[in-house]
Chain A
Amino acid sequence: MAETEVPAPIAKTERAKPAELVQLIVFRLGDEDYGIRIEQVKEVTVTPDVARMPKTPPFIKGIANLRGDIIAILDLEERFRLRPAGRPIPERSYIIAVEAADYVLGLMVREVPRPFTMPLSQIEPAPEFVQDSSTRDKYLEGIAKLPEGGVIIVLDMRKLLTPSEVMRLPGKTASS
């Protein structure tokens, strides 16, 4: 790939002047790493009892009681169609409670999410052609390339969590 040499110089300039750092909560969806800015995350917990809610798209796992708040639980693997075949969400999963404008939603993830700090400049805006090619990419803040290789896809929760987006079915085929 042409850009492989890019991360190193950036890392150097960051050291020279105090870089603006960004803290992410990183989690796995399918085989990809995703990140959310930590200020958009309310808390991370083990998934509580989730009541399936009829009349909702399948990627809404249901509702759960999180310290007295009843929140909707979303399965982003299903929403973005990233679920690897034959690997269902394990029995013990985790919830990342994220704050939208005026409500809280839970994202169900298969592994314990981990915090990750990096310079803001490391997040590159998603290439234009990817932006509107599929539902997932509409909600990207950017893609962070890691010095040790690999990327973290940084999601913009404010775009993802508008009520109409949450209730929307991915693609038109599945809807009635």
Chain B
Amino acid sequence: MKTRDQEYRELFMAEALEYYDSMSRHLSELERNPNAGPALNELFRLMHNLKANARAMGFADLGEVAHHLETLFGLIRDQERTFSGALIKVVFAGVDALGNMIRAVGADQALPDATALLDNLDRLVRGEEPILEEAEEAESEEESGKKMELSDLVYIQVKKLDNLLNLVGELVIDRDRIMTLAQEIGNPALLATAQHLFRISDDLQYSVMDARLVGVGVLLNKFPRVVRDVASAEDKEVELILSGQDVQIDRNILQIITDALLHLVRNAVSHGLETTAQRAAAGKPTVGHLTLSALTERDDVLIQVRDDGRGIDTEAVRRKAIERGLTTAAAALDEQAVWALLFEPGFSMASKVTDISGRGVGLDVVKMALDSLGGQLRVESQLGQGTTFTLVLPTSIAVKGALLVEVEERPYAIPLMHTDTVLALQPEQISVVGGMLVTHVQGQAVPLVPLQLLLHDEGDELLPFADKADMTGAQQVLVVNYNNRRLGLLVDRFIRQQNIVIKPLSKPLDTIDLFGGVTLLGSGQVCLVLDVPALTRLFLTKRP
């Protein structure tokens, strides 16, 4: 894998060469028509951008030449200089020098010396005549031998990549089908070809997924400004620390969590971190620390928002939740369960409305974004010490690990992201509590429900009271986990675990939220993908 430096350098090169080409084009136009306003503005802008990029990359000389040219174009624009005579020669020489310097950067060579040019540019800015050297004539020889080059990078619309990814998804489905058929037919030549196809399409899929990856940094780097604005509006001192900008993730996933992350960051500055006075009183450093970091964990990408602020006041959240009827005092929810309430729609802890937060909208946006991706949210908090929100995201949207289960002779897929454990329970391990089947997993009571009952539940009535009288033999249970709630689904049997490509349900069926989409199995069979968040919500509203 490329290092971040290399990647940045390549991006710089691609942009710089593009700027250089535009500069040459606009310069020629300006020579034909010295009063071409748009060309002049464009040259000024290009110089400015090149200067900024070059300085950010540490190419001081390059930045200096661009800076001088920018100043000169500024003067021409303000009609203090005219684009004529010796000035034209110097400007062309300047742009050529930029081109040479950019190429030197690309070839990893030392930048050519530009002192003479800079002196001339200085003279022009001061309104003096430049000193033109004789050697320039000879240079035009060199000029004609100069290579024309095209950038090594292409820009591509995300839409095109989406399309490519969908096609690969279809290809993989058909590949699996061909593989199954080849195994059934048993012709060795066919089987060998199918296996080859299998490998190629695997590589293809990987390559397309890889082409969609971007560094998390493209999003994280937007936050210093956000944090500064929120902090100054709230009159707080905040130091933002970014890390893991080069962790790779699918561009669309990053797009989907943009708002969620924005909420978490604003929330952390606005609610999480205390004011300078409060921090001083609590004996903490007066400057609050906010860390935005990305890291990879197995196949997932974790993005963490960590503050060293006041932490979540669990009891205050509990009181608020009871006040709002979300829970009862008797429910005796544990810390994690109380924190999960923060992500209920419309739940806000802010007692005053500010510009930035406290409008009762917020954290549920985070939960929804994560649900749509099949991601998870983890919360850790210590009163007085700070809070950490961790977004667990898939690296790619295309392929997900899933467990295939069978209910009434039809397969259903459940994304592994939400599966907890698989159990085979004897009837005596299951008890009936308040009309619900319950078992104990690692000391925790977990409600059980036949999946078939949830799927075929119609109308508004609650689920029938559970009865284990007709239960015989081992019961297959899949424990799923959503927002710290565990639910055991009784299924007929487990089929297998496999990677699936999820296709969204098309209209008009996309209104049924119980299904996250469909996938096609190698057998060509259509398999519905269950949406665990929706399933859990359905159970909560329908439990007897």
Contacts and interface: CB of A to CB of B under 8 A. Distances in A.
A176 interface: yes
B528 A53 contact: yes
Interface stretch (A10-18, A20-28, A61-69, A85-93): A61-69
Contacts of A63: 505, 509, 518, 526, 528
B526 A54 contact: no
Given A68-B170, A166-B508, A167-B508, A51 B460 contact: no
Contacts of A164: 508
A70 B514 contact: no
Nearest to A165: B508
B503 interface: yes
B459 A163 contact: no
B512 interface: yes
Secondary structure dominating the interface of A: mixed
A52 B526 contact: no
A167 B520 contact: no
Interface of B is mostly: mixed
A116 interface: no
B520 A72 contact: no
A64 B520 CA distance: 10
Given A51-B528, A55-B512, A55-B514, A176 B459 contact: yes
Contacts of A100: 507
Nearest to B523: A49
Contact of B514 (A54, A102, A103): A54
A126 interface: no
Interface size class of chain A, counting residues whose CB lies under 8 Å from the partner chain: 20 to 34
A100 B170 CA distance: 23
B507 A65 contact: no
Contacts of A65: 520, 524, 526
A70 B460 contact: no
A71 interface: yes
Given A56-B509, A70-B505, A104-B506, A64 B526 contact: yes
Contact of A49 (B456, B459, B524): B524
Interface string A94-134: 00000010111100000000000000000000000000000
Interface string B472-509: 00000000000000000000000000000001011111
Contacts of B509: 53, 56, 60, 63, 72
A72 B518 CA distance: 12
Given A51-B527, A53-B528, A103 B507 contact: yes
Contacts of B460: 176
Contacts of B527: 51
Given A65-B520, A70-B526, A176-B458, A51 B410 contact: yes
A130 to B, nearest CB: 26
A55 B455 contact: yes
Contacts of A64: 526
B525 interface: yes
Contacts of A163: 507-508, 511
B503 A70 contact: yes
Contact of B508 (A50, A70, A72): A72
A88 B142 CA distance: 86
Interface residues of B, number: 25
Interface in A130-170: 163-164, 166-167
Contacts of A53: 509, 512, 515, 528
Given A63-B518, A65-B520, A176-B459, A52 B410 contact: yes
A71 B410 contact: no
A54 B515 CA distance: 9
A60 B507 CA distance: 13
B508 A54 contact: no
Nearest to B506: A103
B61 to A, nearest CB: 55
Contacts of B410: 51-52
Nearest to B460: A176
**Which one of B506, B515, B520, B527 has the greatest number of beta carbons of chain A within 10 Å?**
B506
Contacts of B506: 69-72, 103-104
A134 B173 CA distance: 43
Nearest to A63: B526
A166 to B, nearest CB: 4
A137 to B, nearest CB: 21
Contacts of A176: 458-460
A55 B531 CA distance: 13
Contacts of A52: 410
B170 to A, nearest CB: 5
Interface string A26-62: 0000000000000000000000011111111000100
Contacts of B459: 176
B526 A102 contact: no
A50 B410 CA distance: 11
A67 to B, nearest CB: 9
A55 B535 CA distance: 12
Nearest to A70: B518
Given A55-B512, A68-B170, A49 B505 contact: no
Contacts of A72: 506, 508-509
B357 to A, nearest CB: 36
Interface of B: 170, 173, 410, 455-456, 458-460, 503, 505-509, 511-512, 514-515, 518, 520, 524-528
Which 10 A-B residue pairs are closest in the complex by CB-CB distance?
A163-B508, A176-B459, A54-B455, A51-B526, A166-B508, A103-B507, A103-B506, A55-B512, A68-B170, A70-B518
Given A49-B525, A63-B518, 16 more contacts: A51-B410, A55-B455, A55-B458, A60-B509, A63-B505, A63-B509, A63-B526, A65-B520, A65-B526, A70-B505, A71-B506, A103-B506, A105-B508, A163-B508, A163-B511, A176-B458
13 contacts: A49-B526, A51-B525, A51-B528, A53-B515, A53-B528, A54-B455, A55-B512, A65-B520, A103-B508, A163-B507, A164-B508, A167-B508, A176-B459
Interface of A: 49-56, 60, 63-65, 68-72, 100, 102-105, 163-164, 166-167, 176
